[in-house]
C-alpha cells in the first residue's frame, strides 16, 4: 500500500522566531497556507522483522539524494516513540517539489508536512488509530512540527495558528490549529513572491532561532508577537485590510531587525529588498490600493493583496517591481486548501 500526500508551503504573517525544548515556539504565529508551492511525497511500506532499526529507501525527484536521505533518517529515528511501527517496516519514500530546489522558497514546511501525513496514513492503516479526521490532522501537525517548526501550520486550509496564546482558544505549542473565521476576502488572497536572490541562505533558520536565546530584545519580541497574533485575527475576522497589512509588515521588518540585533549580527535583506519595500509603499500611498508585503528569513519580498486588484498589481510588478528581481523572476502563489491525499 502506498500513500501520496501533496502538502503546501506556508507564509507566516506573525512570525515564529525563537524556540525551546523539542521544537516548541516561544510565541504564537499565524500563516497563510499556500497553493502552488507544494511537495508531493509518497510513502510505501512492506513488513520486516522488528530489529529495532529503520530501513528507508528515499528518492528525491526520482534520484538518490544523500543529504536529504540523512535528514530524513535522523528525523524518523527521532519519532520512533510516536510511530512504533517504524522499526517493523521497510519504507520507500519518494518526494518531489512543485518548485525548483533553489528558487528561494523554503521546502522544509511542505516536505516535512507531506511526509508526516504519509506516516499518519500508515499508522491509521496498521493500527486503526487516527480514524477521526481531527485526530489525524492533529497528529500530522505534531509530527510536522518535529520535522520543522513552521511545517505544522501547512496541513490546514487557508490559515493556521501555532503556539499557546491566552487570547486564542484551543491554541497549543504542540500543534497548529486551523483558523476558520477569516473574512472570505482572505481565502483567495495572493502572494506574489518577488525573487531578489535564489541563493542558499547564509544563516539557516535553525541557527537564527538559536541566536534568539541571547538577543536582548527577545522577551519584548515574544510579547509583541503574541499581541500581534490576537490583533491580526481581529483584522482577519472583520476584513480590515489596512490593519492586517500593517501588522504583516511590522512582523516582517521585526524578524529582520532581530537578525540585525543578534550576536553575531547578520543581514539577509539585499539592497533590492529595500528598493522593493519603498516601491510598494509609494504605490500604496499614491493609489490607496491594499498591497502589503511580508518577508521570510531571506531577501525575497512577498506581495500580499486581494484577488480584486490582481490586474493592477500585475501591472505594478511588470512595470516597476520585476526590475529589482533576479532575472525578473516572480513566483505567483495564492492562499490554498491545505494538504490533500492524492491516491485516496
Which CB sits closer to ligand DP6, 122 or 301?
301
Which CB sits closer to ligand DP6, 206 or 220?
206
Binding site for ligand DP6 (CB under 6 A): 12, 15-17, 23, 29, 108, 148-150, 205-206, 209, 255, 296-297
Work out how close the CB of 16 gets to ligand DP6 at its nearest, in angstroms, rounded to a whole number.
Answer: 3
Which CB sits closer to ligand DP6, 29 or 270?
29
* Helices 108-127/66-78 angle, 10° precision: 50
Which CB sits closer to ligand DP6, 4 or 163?
163
CB neighbourhood size of 167 (10 A)? 13
DSSP per residue over 275-308, as a string?
HHHHHHHHHHHHH----EEEE-SSS-EEEEE-GG
Query: Is the preceding omega at residue 272 within 30 degrees of 0, hence cis?
Result: no
* Helices 218-238/241-260 angle, 10° precision: 160
Work out how close the CB of 127 gets to ligand DP6 at its nearest, in angstroms, rounded to a whole number.
Answer: 28
What is the rounded CA–CA span in Å between residue 212 and residue 210?
A: 5
Strand partners, 90: 46, 55
Which CB sits closer to ligand DP6, 121 or 300?
300
Work out how close the CB of 149 gets to ligand DP6 at its nearest, in angstroms, rounded to a whole number.
Answer: 3
What is the rounded CA–CA span in Å between residue 120 and residue 136?
A: 7
Q: Do the strands 55-60 and 89-97 form a parallel or antiparallel pair, or are they unpaired? A: parallel
Which CB sits closer to ligand DP6, 118 or 149?
149
Work out how close the CB of 150 gets to ligand DP6 at its nearest, in angstroms, rounded to a whole number.
Answer: 3
Work out how close the CB of 260 gets to ligand DP6 at its nearest, in angstroms, rounded to a whole number.
Answer: 14
Q: Do 269 and 214 meet the contact criterion of CB atoms below 8 Å apart?
A: no
Work out how close the CB of 2 gets to ligand DP6 at its nearest, in angstroms, rounded to a whole number.
Answer: 27
Burial of 85 (0-12, 13-18, 19+ CB in 10 A): middle
Amino acid at each position: 500500500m502506498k500513500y501520496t500526500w501533496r502538502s503546501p508551503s506556508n507564509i507566516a504573517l506573525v512570525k515564529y522566531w525563537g524556540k525551546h525544548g523539542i521544537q516548541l515556539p516561544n510565541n504564537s504565529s499565524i500563516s497563510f497556507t499556500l497553493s502552488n508551492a507544494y511537495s508531493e511525497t509518497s510513502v510505501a511500506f512492506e513488513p520486516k522483522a522488528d530489529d529495532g532499526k529503520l530501513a528507508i529507501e528515499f528518492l528525491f525527484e526520482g534520484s538518490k539524494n544523500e543529504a536529504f536521505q540523512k535528514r530524513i533518517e535522523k528525523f524518523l529515528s527521532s519519532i520512533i516513540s510516536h510511530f512504533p511501527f517504524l522499526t517493523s517496516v521497510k519504507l520507500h519514500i519518494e518526494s518531489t517539489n512543485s518548485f525548483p530546489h533553489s528558487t528561494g522558497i523554503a521546502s522544509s514546511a511542505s516536505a516535512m508536512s507531506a511526509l508526516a501525513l504519509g506516516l499518519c496514513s500508515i499508522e491509521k492503516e496498521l493500527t486503526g488509530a487516527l480514524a477521526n479526521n481531527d485526530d489525524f490532522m492533529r497528529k500530522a501537525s505534531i509530527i510536522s512540527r518535529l520535522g520543522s517548526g513552521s511545517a505544522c501550520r501547512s496541513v490546514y486550509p487557508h490559515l493556521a495558528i501555532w503556539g499557546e496564546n491566552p487570547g486564542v482558544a484551543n491554541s497549543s505549542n504542540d500543534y497548529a490549529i486551523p483558523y476558520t473565521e477569516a473574512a472570505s476576502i482572505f481565502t483567495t488572497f495572493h502572494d506574489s513572491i518577488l525573487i531578489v536572490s535564489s541563493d542558499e541562505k547564509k544563516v539557516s533558520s535553525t541557527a537564527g532561532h538559536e541566536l534568539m536565546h541571547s538577543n536582548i530584545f527577545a522577551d519584548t519580541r515574544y510579547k509583541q508577537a503574541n499581541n500581534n497574533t490576537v490583533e491580526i485575527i481581529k483584522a482577519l475576522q472583520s476584513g480590515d485590510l489596512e490593519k492586517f497589512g500593517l501588522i504583516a509588515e511590522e512582523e516582517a521588518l521585526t524578524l529582520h531587525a532581530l537578525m540585525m540585533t543578534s550576536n553575531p549580527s547578520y543581514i539577509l535583506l539585499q539592497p533590492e529588498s529595500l528598493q522593493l519595500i519603498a516601491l510598494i509603499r509609494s504605490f500604496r500611498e499614491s493609489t490607496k490600493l491594499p498591497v502589503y508585503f511580508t518577508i521570510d528569513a531571506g531577501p525575497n519580498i512577498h506581495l500580499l493583496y486581494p484577488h480584486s486588484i490582481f490586474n493592477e498589481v500585475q501591472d505594478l510588478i511588470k512595470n516597476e517591481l520585476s526590475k529589482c528581481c533576479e532575472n525578473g523572476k516572480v513566483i505567483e502563489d495564492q492562499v490554498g486548501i491545505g494538504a490533500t491525499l492524492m491516491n485516496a
